């Protein structure tokens, strides 16, 4: 956590700011100097709901002026297709946290990366899953050597996701991988780095024909014994009994199984659950580690903390840098390319 955190100004007052950004910043005691949103009244509603938020700005110019006066950090919580035009207006040298995804395709991600470099922006991207309490716990357990050398990662999601909550997705040509599984792709990169080969199939659901693909099968191949799989079906609307959302990590001496609670009955969710099995401790049973916090909202502290620490100490770890995020976007593009090329015909 940064000492004496800088004030934050937020552009965008949608559900993700209400449900994750502001609750996270309140927990972390990050000061929020104000919010602007293009829809009149939305920013003011959040100011009224969160007492630590100072003001709702009537125009972006007022926000930019205040940010310059305070030396504030920008938080862009806007759809991917709006990122570039806002970055163009930021003063050169600004510090900015950009909402994921980093554009809607690799072409936009390249433009964002180039613009950040041209304007000398200290930019981070809000891939926050790698900061979730259960991911941090997993990394700590692995670092201690309790499950040996990790060789297998699997994310599996079979739930009913209420896509109608995100109206802007109705017209997007890419949905599941770009707006959901991208979190898992980024988390796998945080554990394993970049794969040598990828395979992907992403497909529509017959009950939500108005949306682009909402089911995906992804394989990230690292050669040798190492592989990661991401399996998602957001259309399992047959009650909660057999819904599932988990991350499983296997090593040579044990394994980790995490129930990812936020996926169930979204946005209500369930508590996440962390269990592990280590032959170095016990050969007979799984053990549970109690978690403090969850993906929503606690993981959203991480990217902002990482950015603020980088401002104060350029030598500090910067896991959410725009350069690293560009690699995640490049991998996502490869997944869509794999999907387009398709499998081998059997007939």
Domains in the chain with CATH codes: 8-128+298-321 (3.40.50.720), 130-288 (3.30.360.10)
pLDDT at 174 over 90: yes
* Mean predicted confidence (pLDDT) in 136-158: 97
pLDDT at 312: 92
Look up residue 118 and give its two tokens: 């041209």
Strands (E), 192-282: 197-203, 215-221, 227-233, 244-251, 254-259, 273-278
Selection from 246, 248, 276 nearest residue 263 by Cα = 246
Query: Residue 195 — very low, low, confident or very high, per pLDDT cuts 50/70/90?
Result: very high
Q: What is the per-residue pLDDT for 344? A: 61
In the predicted model, is pLDDT for residue 292 greater than 90? yes
Please write the tens of the pLDDT for every residue from 301-313. Answer: 999 999 999 999 9
- Residue partners of 290: CB distance under 8 A and separation at least 6: 274
Q: Taking residues 135-158, what's their average pLDDT?
A: 97
- Whether the predicted pLDDT of 134 surpasses 80: yes
* Cβ atoms of residues 228 and 192 within 8 Å: yes
Provide mean pLDDT across the span 9-38: 96
Q: Across all residues in the chain, what is the average pLDDT?
A: 95
96-118 pLDDT tens trace: 999 999 999 999 999 999 999 99
Q: Is the pLDDT of residue 281 over 90?
A: no
Q: Which of 251, 295, 244, 298 is nearest to 276 (CA)?
A: 251
């Amino acid at each position: 956590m940064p000492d004496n955190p800088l004030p934050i100004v937020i552009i965008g007052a949608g559900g993700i700011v209400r449900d994750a950004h502001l609750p996270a910043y309140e927990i972390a005691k990050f000061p929020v100097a104000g919010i602007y949103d293009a829809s009149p009244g939305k920013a003011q509603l959040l100011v009224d709901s969160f007492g630590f938020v100072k003001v709702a700005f009537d125009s972006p110019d007022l926000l930019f002026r205040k940010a310059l006066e305070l030396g504030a950090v920008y938080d862009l919580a806007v759809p991917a297709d709006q990122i570039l035009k806002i970055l163009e207006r930021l003063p050169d040298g600004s510090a900015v946290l950009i909402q994921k995804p980093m554009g809607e395709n690799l072409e936009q991600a390249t433009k964002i990366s180039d613009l950040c470099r041209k304007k000398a922006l200290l930019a981070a991207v809000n891939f926050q899953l790698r900061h979730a309490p259960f991911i941090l716990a997993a990394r700590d357990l692995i670092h201690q050597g309790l499950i040996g050398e990790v060789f297998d990662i699997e994310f599996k999601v079979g739930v009913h996701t209420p896509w109608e909550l995100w109206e802007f997705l109705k017209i997007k040509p890419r949905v599941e991988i770009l707006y959901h599984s991208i979190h898992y792709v980024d988390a796998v990169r945080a554990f394993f780095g970049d794969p040598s080969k990828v395979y992907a199939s992403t497909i529509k659901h017959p009950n939500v024909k108005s949306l682009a693909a909402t089911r995906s099968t992804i394989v990230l191949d690292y050669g040798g014994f190492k592989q990661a799989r991401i399996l998602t079906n957001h259309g399992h609307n047959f009650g909660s009994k057999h819904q599932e959302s988990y991350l499983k990590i296997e090593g040579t001496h044990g394994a980790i199984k995490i129930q990812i609670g936020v996926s169930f009955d979204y946005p209500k969710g369930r508590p996440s659950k962390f269990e592990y099995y280590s032959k170095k401790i016990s050969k007979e049973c799984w053990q549970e580690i109690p978690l403090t916090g969850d993906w929503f909202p606690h993981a959203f502290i991480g990217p902002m903390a990482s950015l603020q620490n980088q401002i104060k100490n350029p030598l500090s770890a910067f896991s959410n840098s725009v350069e690293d995020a560009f690699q995640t976007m490049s991998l996502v593009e490869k997944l869509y390319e794999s999907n387009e090329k398709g499998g081998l015909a059997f007939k």
